[in-house]
Amino acid sequence: MAHDSRHVFPTLDDRWSVRKSGASRASKIFDKKAEAVAYAKTQALREHTDLYIHGKDGMVIDKPDLKISPRKMSYQVQETPDEDARNAKKQQTAN
């Protein structure tokens, strides 16, 4: 694990845990991956650290690009192309 980072891991009981790098215990556990990722992004932005999302095999499957907006001095999460496509599909389905 990278130094000073947050990690999202699947658990053995099909839930999702968020851990700080080097920690043996989860800081929080969620039923849904999206909830775990949202929480981890918030923590990583607050702590100015990296975020790694792991798959069931333990390998890193995503490392979202977290950036701070200098104009608004607020935190923004850059969505990955996969997230952009899913969000566009959701909007099309809703209309």
Beta partners for residue 8, in sequence order: 18, 53
Q: Is the pTM of this model over 0.85?
A: no
Query: Tell me: the pLDDT tens digits for 21-35?
Result: 988 899 999 999 999
pLDDT at site 1: 42
CA-closest candidate to residue 7, choices 22, 75, 71: 22
Q: Which residues have a Cβ under 8 Å from the Cβ of 47 and sit 6 or more positions away?
A: 4, 6
Q: Taking residues 18-22, what's their average pLDDT?
A: 92
Structure tokens at 43: 């923590």
Q: What is the pLDDT of residue 20?
A: 93
Share of the chain above pLDDT 90, in %: 43
